[in-house]
Every structure is written in structure tokens, then in C-alpha cells.
Amino acid sequence: MTLDKKLVESLEKDYANAPISSQDRLMLDHVIKLTKDATKVSKKDIENLRSAGFDDRGILQITLIASWFNYINRVADSLGVGRD
């Protein structure tokens, strides 16, 4: 969590070029892949996360949090939450 408005704007605009660590960038790459098509996540992707310093607990947390947000957004979208 951050109060750095410029960082947030940079992440929203293009996280790949935002001033974040390579570990954070790899994590976000993984989350995007998981979001677009979780069946495409491979053992190699998990090994890449481990190589970047994430342990099994961290990888599980990344997966659960991203999946939960994907789920809850789909529920809200399907019910028209936030639409006029």
C-alpha cells in the first residue's frame, strides 16, 4: 500500500514501465497471466516466481488474492454493481 500518487498513476498507466522492483514486475506479470487464462500458468511460471524470491506461501497468497479479486469483480459486473 502506498500514498505515493505518482507511483499509483504510473502503475495504472503501464506497470511494465513503472518504477518498481523486478520482483514486483514479475509478480504482476504472473497475476495478469492468471487473470487472462489461468490454464496457461505453468510449472515454469511458478519456478520463475521462486527464483525471484517468492516462497510457496507467497505464491499461494499471490494466487489467492488475484483470484479473489477476479471472482468478486465478475460477480459485481454480472449484477451491474456500480453501473447506473
Number of domains in the chain: 1
Please spell the DSSP secondary structure of 9-71, one letter per residue: HHHHHHGGGSS--HHHHHHHHHHHHHHH-GGG--HHHHHHHHHTT--HHHHHHHHHHHHHHHH
Are 27 and 55 in contact by the 8 Å Cβ rule? The answer is no
Q: Quick check: 47 and 41 in contact, CB under 8 A?
A: no
Looking at the domain assignment, is residue 58 inside a domain? yes
Q: Is residue 16 part of a domain?
A: no
Residue 6 falls inside a structural domain? no
Whether residue 11 is contained in a domain is answered as no
Whether the Cβ atoms of residue 33 and residue 41 lie closer than 8 Å to each other: yes
Is position 63 within any domain? yes
pLDDT tops 80 at residue 10:
yes
Domain that holds residue 56: 21-79
pTM attached to this predicted model: 0.84
Q: pLDDT digits over 37-54, tens only?
A: 999 999 999 999 999 999
